[in-house]
Amino acid sequence: MKQISLSDKCILITGSAGFIGANLVLSLLKSTGHKNMTIIGVDNVNDYYDVAIKQYRLKQIEEAAKTSDSSWIFYKKSIADEAFIKELFEKNDIRVVVNLAAQAGVRYSIVNPDAYMEANVMGFYRILEACRHADTEHLVYASSSSIYGDSTDIPYRVDAPTEHPVSLYAATKKSDELLAHAYSKLYEIPSTALRFFTVYGPAGRPDMAYFGFTDKLRRGEKIKIFNHGNCRRDFTYVDDVVEGIIRVMQGAPEKKKGEDGLPLAPYSIYNIGNSRPVDLMEFIDILAQELKSAGVLEADFDIKAHQELLPMQPGDVAVTYADTSALERDFGYRPSTDIRTGLREFARWYKEFYLS
């Protein structure tokens, strides 16, 4: 592994108005260990979910940039825009790239596949092409736990088979891994895929279950619980994910030669998950408790009366469970925030953002 200093570097973070991307930018701007960075953010700020939350994140970044010794530049553009990406790399000495831009959502991919092909496949291809012609020290990009499909071989290991995705979203993420490996092999671009597991936290994505549940419960509506509640998810707090990304950014796969004298692909894959799957019904109970404590729900709110049990949805899986041994081995890091602590922070943010 090649150690990379982030100080004095130009770093491109795509999807920087998104949930993980914005938190990554904020962490870097507030960091005392990484100095004098030029952080370039790119995001098309689409309306897949409430744009006000994306604007809130961008405002937080702008405020943090005012007191940071690193600089922040933002472009409201699509990474699928070939001319823009080419010009961006030509005009800036971008050394580290973190590609988090993507059309998210499993179920939305079933009804609107074009958005996924443009952002997740064509957009990522534009990034790979730009890295091929630049002096890129490390390309880190978001994959997803969804590529493991409905495998029953848990916990999911990074070397497990991933040839049978059960959603178009998962298929595009698998495509990204294959494309990145090919580019890494052909052009010796140090590349690392990060498979994220159900990331949650303050100012998260409204299309995620915990956020949608909160919206519905606050309105007194019933929440739909699929597979009759027989689901377990490896919920991973966003701060833990960001810490993992920053550690990985600084450790690029080394360029090496194989026995045939030809370059081996400088390519790695890591799971970033909490490695402690939570039963969905327990999760809902803890969420309700923390929403009551934060004042989002009334203290006597009957959570059981607001549940509707339904069969499994297309594209969903019953269990997600990360094996993070590779991340622990190479970076000495494992996410550790427990579900109650994470949901407490989300509930407090929700109260402040929507009800204050």
Query: Residue 231 — very low, low, confident or very high, per pLDDT cuts 50/70/90?
Result: confident
Query: Residue 315 — very low, low, confident or very high, per pLDDT cuts 50/70/90?
Result: low
pLDDT at position 110, please?
A: 83
Question: pTM higher than 0.85 for the full model?
Answer: yes
Q: Sketch the domain layout of the chain as residue ranges.
A: 2-199+236-273+321-336
Torsion of CA 173, 153, 234, 284, to 10 degrees: 120
pLDDT at position 148, please?
A: 92
Q: Which of 125, 169, 321, 333 is catalytic?
A: 169
To the query of whether residue 141 is one of the catalytic residues in this protein, the response is no
Could you tell me the two tokens for 158?
Answer: 């990074």
Decide if pLDDT at 56 tops 80. yes
pLDDT at position 124, please?
A: 98
- Write down the CATH number for the domain with range 2-199+236-273+321-336: 3.40.50.720
Q: Are strands 236-237 and 199-200 parallel, antiparallel or unpaired?
A: parallel
Long-range Cβ contacts of 52-57 (<8 Å, 24+ apart): 53/203, 53/206, 53/353, 54/17, 54/18, 54/22, 55/17, 56/203, 56/353, 57/17, 57/18, 57/19, 57/22, 57/23, 57/203
User: What is the distance between the alpha carbons of residues 165 and 161, in angstroms, rounded to a whole number?
Assistant: 10
Decide if pLDDT at 257 tops 90. no
Decide if pLDDT at 232 tops 70. yes
Decide if pLDDT at 284 tops 80. yes
pLDDT at position 345, please?
A: 98
Could you tell me the two tokens for 211?
Answer: 């956020």
Decide if pLDDT at 228 tops 80. no
Share of the chain above pLDDT 90, in %: 83
User: What is the distance between the alpha carbons of residues 6 and 38, in angstroms, rounded to a whole number?
Assistant: 10
pLDDT at position 311, please?
A: 78
Query: Residue 258 — very low, low, confident or very high, per pLDDT cuts 50/70/90?
Result: confident
Token pair 């597991």 in the structure block, residue: 197
- Give tens-digit pLDDT for 164-188: 888 899 999 999 999 999 999 999 9
Query: Residue 316 — very low, low, confident or very high, per pLDDT cuts 50/70/90?
Result: low
- Give the CA distances from residue 122 to residues 80, 317, 344, in Å, rounded to whole numbers and listed in that order: 6, 26, 38
